[in-house]
Amino acid sequence: MTEELSPRASASEQGYEGALRPGTLGEFVGQAKVRKQLGLLLDAASRRQHTPDHILLAGPPGLGKTTLSMIVAAELDKPLHQTSGPAIQHAGDLAAVLSALTPGEVLFVDEIHRMARSAEEMLYLAMEDFKVDIMVGKGAGATSVPLELSPFTLVGATTRAGLLPNPLRDRFGFTAHLEFYGEDELARVVSRAAGLIGFALSEQGIAEIAGRSRGTPRIANRLLRRVRDYCLVHETVGDTESVRAALALYDVDEHGLDRLDREVLRALVERFGGGPVGLSTLAVSVGEEAETIESVVEPFLVRTGLITRTPRGRVATRLGWAHVGAEPPEISQIPGGGRTG
């Protein structure tokens, strides 16, 4: 997968991303339902002068979970403490974080599904009663000492909501499921970001980037940066032509497919007659890890209707055949498919 289309952030783009983050719910583009629900929750909490319910943000990477956690803290006018599941490997790690929280503080735990089990159990009590039991001493002499915590709001983020144990999931008063963005919404993300970085981009140029961003604001902002650099170096304006030229340079096609996506699709059509074929066979045929194909390539090809998953393996749809410029052998046997995102 080319770096341009990875939904995950790279360390080098954190500063750029930070500069583009919307600071309020009003500035946050799209996700209308989640914005309304969250707005109501925060408004009610401030009217009751109470900390809001704990919030779980679920959805694929790059859709705005970290941004929303910052917005929650900003709207509540409270500090934000950020950590992540992998950083909490022992109950003691969590106890240290929780005991340092100030009243009303927002605690953001990214990838909360990756937290240690022992810490999860401590978190149940902390979420419910703002208390933890600290074990003091070892062996037979060990005793548990209750510790009162300041009331806080936990904002948990996960790309794998299904992996959260039920007792943890049940302790969130509100769960927001973030959806992939439509092209109009992505155009608004790009237009806003272009304004912030002071880059003049035509309406069509904006639409070209939006259409290649795989429903993901992080990718939209990254492609914008590539186009801005291209225009700077080639001393050209941000129009459709320069967007196309810049993104062709990075192997991003008009639907947001990259080299690996196209290779997989081409292998499916040309080497396996459109399928059905098993994932591992497909992975070997393009010389890539099955994991990468399953977690990154396949979901996007399925979502855009280029392939489907059947019990017997992956099958190219009519759209998939057309995308690689090939004719399907017998139309009646090929799934129709349809672009969705």
Ligand X SMILES: Nc1ncnc2c1ncn2[C@@H]1O[C@H](COP(=O)(O)OP(=O)(O)OP(=O)(O)O)[C@@H](O)[C@H]1O
Binding site for ligand X (CB under 6 A): 8-9, 17, 20-22, 28-31, 61-67, 110, 159, 189, 217-218, 221
CA distances from 234 to 178, 224, 229, 237, 246 (A): 37, 15, 8, 9, 10
> Which phi and psi angles does 156 have, rounded to 5°?
-100, 140
Q: Is 251 annotated as a binding residue?
A: no
The reply to whether omega before 276 is within 30° of 0 (cis) is yes
- Given 218, 222, 262, 318, which residue is catalytic? 218
Whether 129 has a binding-site annotation, put simply, is yes
* Shortest distance, position 194 Cβ to ligand X, whole Å: 12
Pick from 134, 139, 43, 131: which is nearest to 92 by CA? 134
CA dist 334 and 316 (Å) reads 7
| Minimum CB distance to ligand X smaller for 8 or for 36 | 8
Nearer to ligand X, 223 or 247 (CB): 223
Residue 89 contacts residue 116 (beta carbons within 8 Å) = yes
The answer to whether residue 240 is catalytic is no
Residue 218 Cβ, how far from ligand X at the closest point, in Å?
4
Q: Is 35 exposed, middle or buried (0-12, 13-18, 19+ CB in 10 A)?
A: middle
Determine whether the annotation assigns residue 171 to a binding site. Answer: yes
Q: How far is the CB of 118 from ligand X (least distance, A)?
A: 24
**List 110, 153, 216, 262, catalytic entry:** 110
What's the closest the beta carbon of residue 276 comes to ligand X, in angstroms?
Answer: 32
User: Does residue 143 have a known ligand-binding role?
Assistant: no
Given the residues 65, 169, 222, 228, the one annotated as active site: 65
Closest CA to 3 of 304, 226, 180, 279: 226
Query: Considering the complex, what minimum distance in angstroms separates the CB of residue 152 from ligand X?
Result: 20
Instruction: State how far the Cα of 323 lies from the Cα of 306, in Å rounded to an integer.
Output: 8
> What DSSP letter does each residue of 81-145 carry, written as one string?
EEEEGGG--SHHHHHHHHHTPPTT-EEEEETGGGS-HHHHHHHHHHHHHSEEEEEESSGGG-EEE
Please state the closest distance from residue 26 (CB atom) to ligand X, in A.
Answer: 11
Q: Is 21 annotated as ligand-binding?
A: yes
Catalytic-role residue among 51, 158, 159, 216: 159
- Catalytic annotation on 110? yes
Nearer to ligand X, 9 or 284 (CB): 9
* 65 carries an active-site annotation: yes
Whether 66 is a known active-site residue: answer yes
To which H or E segment does residue 154 belong? strand 153-158
Select 191 or 308, whichever has its Cβ closest to ligand X.
191
* Residues 238/199, Cβ–Cβ less than 8 Å: yes
Question: Nearer Cβ to ligand X, position 119 or 189?
Answer: 189
Q: Which is nearer to ligand X, 159 or 308 (CB)?
A: 159
Angstrom CA distances, 84 to 94, 113, 330, 341, stand at 10, 9, 50, 30
- Please give the annotated binding residues for DNA, written as ranges: 309, 314
- Please give the annotated binding residues, written as ranges: 20-21, 62, 65-67, 128-130, 171, 181, 218, 309, 314
Active site residues: 65-66, 110, 159, 218
